[in-house]
Structure 1
């Protein structure tokens, strides 16, 4: 069974399952999800908890022995296994598969993992965990969903914000849910329950956005020029290497060119995406971009990227950040309706 972390509270109202796997790239949601499961277990009488952290040389038999060895004073326990690297090795893979084949009725097992790569998610050990238990996905909230996420959190503390305020808050905390959580809590301390005043919120909230390079490419693919500019300025202010920014912009152009060229030659959409190694939610964005930007135009953009590369290396004059801005905006705006 697979659920989003936002649905965990509702799920727990129906009772506990023997196995929970919390997995994702959002530290706040990972912490909150694990805390919610432990709190539910405690309320249900699982008073004992053993914590294991998988590190080099970890003894996988220890978790099996723990599950099979109930306490004399408290038969119900929580086995709390943390795997920070997401790597379990051959022994760990075999041990986890054996473990889930013999889940104990008086033991709740909680396994915490980071966001896993494609190979790990397709592995037999992960498949066994997902089949036997509840997979709680705790991934970063996309920018498009941040306003509703913030609104729900404000509502939980008796506050309400208008659309403009929610968009403002989303812009400030994008990519940093821990900071978003802190800002929401701060609003709860500063202002009474009820409607929040937009200007008061603006004055109270710090600019805590922490941009990452992949969000820049996402904004380009979405043809969102304003978001692209905001993230680019954030990366510049944080001292991000110019070459890294150029690599991300050029990678989006190359991916779109590969897919667009394949589609033009008659390759099916699915095969074009597979050949270009484009997966998941990024697929539709690339397809849309290849539909609005011609192959010749994409080729010109790559030539501009090569020129910026020479600028970074000091081989030709120019303002690198200005050129990066123009290149990204060219991609975001070309062929866009309106």
Structure 2
């Protein structure tokens, strides 16, 4: 069976942990949340002992089957978490995993956490191992619409209420990075004013000491030609965070690249440029008019 990583927490509320679970895909936070949900379900099912195996150099793949079959000395049920950091498996590893299809898993559950695996669904060992009794959990790259849905769901879960301008600020801050967005939401949720309707100004204040936000706020001010605001932000960054030069340079370079592409593209191609650089909502209206930002004759 195959499910999406974002479905895993709800799935494991109602379904027991299968003998073997594979977790992989492009979105790190969704992978980690799926792993946590799978481990919690295994614990709830009585697999109270957990053993972690890292398939780094020196890992004995031939002993994997023995680990599955050997009863634990400490608990009648055991969860084995196999962490694979490789993008592709060699023949020895693939053969060892494929051979697990012949094991009973009476007292053991196996979670294979391999976030970087490339197209495992096309591999023979996956086709052999993941029948209807086992589970594959995959995360996929979150494009703007799916990313926005994730952020909205997480805001709702945290019982946070943002004005539209604050929401746009949060989306621009996250830059398509779900982990950054979740960290911002977690920070907002523990603030004394978190029960209020959060405005853009309050959002900036609450997140002011998070390193990315200052750099992106400076970028926004420059694009909007708010020179005084940009000056104040730059002064604050210089005084408080003297290690932001690289991030600021990257952010300005990115904005200039986007505006140059928009300037040289026909209007119908603008949306694909926005999607490529993960630019959301109101900021589109800013960057879509680069002729007002570049000097005359540029």
Tell me if TM exceeds 0.5. yes
Find the aligned partners of 1:324 and 1:149 in 2 and give their Cα distance: 25
Query: Are the structure 2 counterparts of residues 158 and 324 from structure 1 closer, same or farther at C-alpha, using a change threshold of 3 Å?
Result: closer
What do the CA deviations read for 1:125-163 (whole angstroms, capped 9, x no partner)? 122344352111133422222222112112222223344
Match of 2:198 among 191, 196, 210: 196
Q: Partner of 1:238: helix, strand, or coil? A: helix
Once residues 39 and 88 of structure 1 are traced to their aligned partners in structure 2, the CA distance between those partners, rounded to angstroms, is 27
Verify the 8 A CA contact 1:19 1:110 in the aligned structure 2: yes
Name structure 1 gaps, 5 residues minimum: 210-233, 246-320
- The gaps in structure 2 that reach 5 residues or longer are 214-245, 272-287, 289-298
Shift of 1:194: 5.7
Deviating beyond 6 angstroms after TM superposition, the runs of 4 or more aligned structure 1 residues are 321-324, 335-338
> Is 1:37 aligned to residue 38 of structure 2?
yes
Partner of 1:27: 28
Name the SS for the 1:13 alignment partner.
Answer: helix
CA RMSD of aligned residues (A): 3.2
Structure 1 residues 202 and 130 mapped into 2: Cα distance closer, same or farther (>3 Å)? farther
Task: State TM-score, norm by structure 1.
Answer: 0.61
In the alignment, is the contact (CA less than 8 A) between 1:140 and 1:175 conserved in 2?
Answer: no
Alignment of 1:1-338 (within 5 A): 1-14=1-14, 15-118=16-119, 120-131=120-131, 133-190=134-191, 191-193=193-195, 195-205=197-207, 206=210, 208=212, 237-238=249-250, 325-327=259-261, 329-331=263-265, 333=267
C-alpha distance 25-49 of structure 1, shift in aligned 2 (>3 A): same
Q: Does the aligned pair in 1 maintain the 2:88–2:118 contact within 8 Å?
A: no
Shift in CA distance, 325/38, structure 1 to aligned 2, threshold 3 Å? same
Question: What secondary structure is seen at the aligned counterpart in 2 of 1:80?
Answer: strand
The separation in 1 between residues aligned to 2:4 and 2:258, in whole angstroms, is: 36
Q: For 1:77 and 1:92, how far apart are their aligned partners in 2?
A: 22
Whose relative contact order is higher, 1 or 2, with alpha carbons under 8 Å and at least 6 apart?
Answer: 2
Relative distance call for 1:42 and 1:144 in structure 2 (3 A) is same
